[in-house]
Amino acid sequence: MLTIGKLGEAAGVKVPTIRYYEQIGLLPEAERSSGNQRLYSRKALERLAFIRHARDLGFSLEAIRDLLSLSDKPDQSCAGADAIAKAQLAEVESRLARLTALKSELERMVVQCAGGKIADCRVIEVLGDHSLCSADHRHPEPEPN
């Protein structure tokens, strides 16, 4: 059995995050020692490592919840997991496209800046007027929860 500190160390997750994952139900509530200290099993470590890896890959907590639910049913088709991973891949591709547009715009701004005075600075001018950008690279507004 692992204490919360040892669990966090083993999985590379901070203690408050572990408590949060318990609170929202991604991790089952820990057993308690006679001194009321949280104690975690090897299975809890494996689940936390799964969550950490999924977060590293950019999956949302809701997607991770769904993936964990699927992983608890090993005889089920993996179509659901595939669909979640494909949706995450599409999100990553969309972010990459936005980042590529941002990179191009920043490069264009820097090249066009003559390095003179601020009054003639293309960087300041473009930042002040989005219509001077070569592409729409704005980050979409997040949808309300």
Would the pLDDT of 138 be above 70? Answer: no
Mean pLDDT, residues 59-78 taken together: 94
Which pTM does this prediction carry?
0.76
Task: Report the pLDDT value the prediction gives residue 137, as an integer from 0 to 100.
Answer: 65
Task: Report the pLDDT value the prediction gives residue 142, as an integer from 0 to 100.
Answer: 57
Task: Report the pLDDT value the prediction gives residue 145, as an integer from 0 to 100.
Answer: 47
Would the pLDDT of 48 be above 90? Answer: yes
**Tens of pLDDT along 75-89?**
999 999 999 999 999
**d(C-alpha 145, C-alpha 141), whole Å:** 12
**Tens of pLDDT along 2-34?**
999 999 999 999 999 999 999 999 999 888 888
What's the CA angle centered on 89, arms 83 and 91, to 5 degrees? 105
